[in-house]
Structure 1
């Protein structure tokens, strides 16, 4: 899976595990996220790192089954304005080929009174929690051919999670008419209304 303008050669082989050990010497995934938005290394590489549509991580054609390692990698993910997604450290950037979204939302919880004051909390496949609202919007993309919706919620930076089908069904059960009186249905979270689709 080649990527233009990304260098990769035997002389620029990057040991991600060693880099992660330098960033998180105790290996803990809790606590403050590294400031990847501040890191702009010149060194880049393509080592065939991939996140598939089901949220699984792959390297060199083989699935990465070590959950702890995947969680560590996810902490240094960044999406740049050009749409490319990278693993970023102070020393190098590794391109990540993402089939759909870097995360999947596997659970949704509602807190507060139903309606504008409620908060919807989404939990990702890697344990991130994002509260939908003005700073973490929900959006729906609709396939123009099939009409099938693809729902996403912002997790951090420009990184999104795609809602799994069961989570989207749960969300649909919480839907109510839009406040503008249109035939749109949607959900509230932290005072923001997010359309899910039309009643028709």
Structure 2
């Protein structure tokens, strides 16, 4: 698969849709094989083992990312190519309180409010991130079937803002966004 040819197709597919994400959920092109592209644990994109250095290209590709079952694809209206993702495709790198919500920003600049449309859930991290005493960590839904892991700094900052409650023998740490509580961590009660 030729990266420059695919990049041109993506550019043509999203041309004029700079503000809105392309309707990848409505596109169902034929599968054209796998591309030697990997989204690493740290959120960096690599093509043929070399980092994709142009952030504008990463942003463009991330806009046409789609997940079906357990496989990730880059799609245009005319073709679909498989890529590898080591954990999840996005990392939440920033957060801010805005009105009655918490707004997250990903490593590709995508912003969204933590809400029932963009829920947060606790998951076990991949083996490469696990420490001996690892507990589940927060992930948040960015868009249809595409998730982000909270960067460690963001996670620690949110823990400082969290409230506590007891639930089924555990102490839960939660934050509230758009009047809804979201669990960001659990501690076994003593």
Q: TM-score, normalised by structure 1?
A: 0.82
Instruction: Give the conservation status (yes or no) of the 8 Å contact 1:178–1:193.
Output: no
Larger mean CA deviation between 178-187 and 16-25 belongs to 178-187
Structure (1/2) with the larger strand percentage: 2
SS in 2 for 1:195: strand
Query: Which of 144, 152, 156 pairs up with 1:165?
Result: 152
- Hey, what does 2:25 align to over in structure 1? 37
Q: CA deviation at 1:128?
A: 0.2
Would you say 1:121 and 2:103 are equivalent positions? Answer: yes
Query: Which of 15, 18, 21 pairs up with 2:8?
Result: 18
Q: CA deviation at 1:47?
A: 1.6
- Hey, what does 2:83 align to over in structure 1? 96
> Residues 85-142 of structure 1: CA distance to partner in whole angstroms, max 9, x if unpaired?
1101111111120011101100011123xxxxx3111000110002111111111224
Instruction: Give the conservation status (yes or no) of the 8 Å contact 2:73–2:82.
Output: yes
- Hey, what does 1:48 align to over in structure 2? 36
Instruction: Give the conservation status (yes or no) of the 8 Å contact 1:137–1:153.
Output: yes
Q: Which whole-Å CA distance do the structure 2 matches of 1:25 and 1:132 have between them?
A: 28
Unaligned runs of 5+ in 1: 1-11, 113-117
SS in 1 for 2:29: coil
Q: Which whole-Å CA distance do the structure 1 matches of 2:47 and 2:175 have between them?
A: 37
Q: CA deviation at 1:199?
A: 4.3
Instruction: Give the conservation status (yes or no) of the 8 Å contact 1:109–1:122.
Output: yes
Instruction: Give the conservation status (yes or no) of the 8 Å contact 1:43–1:91.
Output: no
Instruction: Give the conservation status (yes or no) of the 8 Å contact 1:178–1:185.
Output: yes
Q: CA deviation at 1:48?
A: 0.8
Query: Which of 105, 111, 120 pairs up with 2:92?
Result: 105
* Count of residues paired in the alignment: 181
Q: TM-score, normalised by structure 2?
A: 0.86
Instruction: Give the conservation status (yes or no) of the 8 Å contact 1:73–1:87.
Output: yes
Instruction: Give the conservation status (yes or no) of the 8 Å contact 1:52–1:100.
Output: yes
- Hey, what does 1:6 align to over in structure 2? none
Q: CA deviation at 1:151?
A: 1.8
- Hey, what does 1:9 align to over in structure 2? none
Instruction: Give the conservation status (yes or no) of the 8 Å contact 1:130–1:154.
Output: no
- Hey, what does 2:163 align to over in structure 1? 176
